[in-house]
Structure formats: structure tokens, C-alpha cells
Amino acid sequence: MERKNALIMCRTGMGSSLMLKIKVDKIIMKNNFPLDVTHDAFNGLAGRNPDIIITMEDLIPEFGETSAYIIGVKDIMDVDYIEAKLKEYFS
């Protein structure tokens, strides 16, 4: 399966995106998903074309039109939700 790129974003790129990246990295290892992950602030999307965007649910409307598969997270600690969404993407 082709490797994909994910971008984890929060408003400022400091706390929540890094915490979310750590959670996602563990999910990737557990499931052997072919996924490379980076994290950044919302304004870090410019010039990038990720396959997947993982962000807080309230930021989704700010992405406008994108071809990326967007996962909106309500609770950073809810790894089961994130894992289910990634499994959905890779199925």
C-alpha cells in the first residue's frame, strides 16, 4: 500500500497538535498504517498537500475546500475514535 502523509494541525501548533501527534504515532505503530505524520499550526497548511488532516473539530470549517480526508477530533484523549477514523480511511 502506498504511503500517505498526514498533517496534524491546531490553531497555534504548540500543545494540542503535538499531543495529538504522539497519540497518532502510537496508533500507526499498532496498526502498521503506511502514514508519515507531521504537526503544525493552522497557517502551516499553505503549500502542503496532505492526504489526511487531523485537527480539532472546531477548525474544520476553516479549511475550506480540500481534497484531504479530514478527521475532526473532539477529545484528544479519545484514541479509539481516531483509530476508527484511520481504519476507515485505510479500508
What structural domains and CATH numbers belong to the chain?
A: 4-90 (3.40.50.2300)
Cβ atoms 50, 67 nearer than 8 A: no
**Residue 31 confidence (pLDDT):** 97
**Residue 59 confidence (pLDDT):** 87
Q: Is the pTM of this model over 0.75?
A: yes
Query: Which residues of the chain fall short of a pLDDT of 70?
Result: 13-14, 44-45
List C-alpha distances in Å: 68 to 15, 30, 64: 23, 23, 11
**Residue 44 confidence (pLDDT):** 61
**Residue 81 confidence (pLDDT):** 97
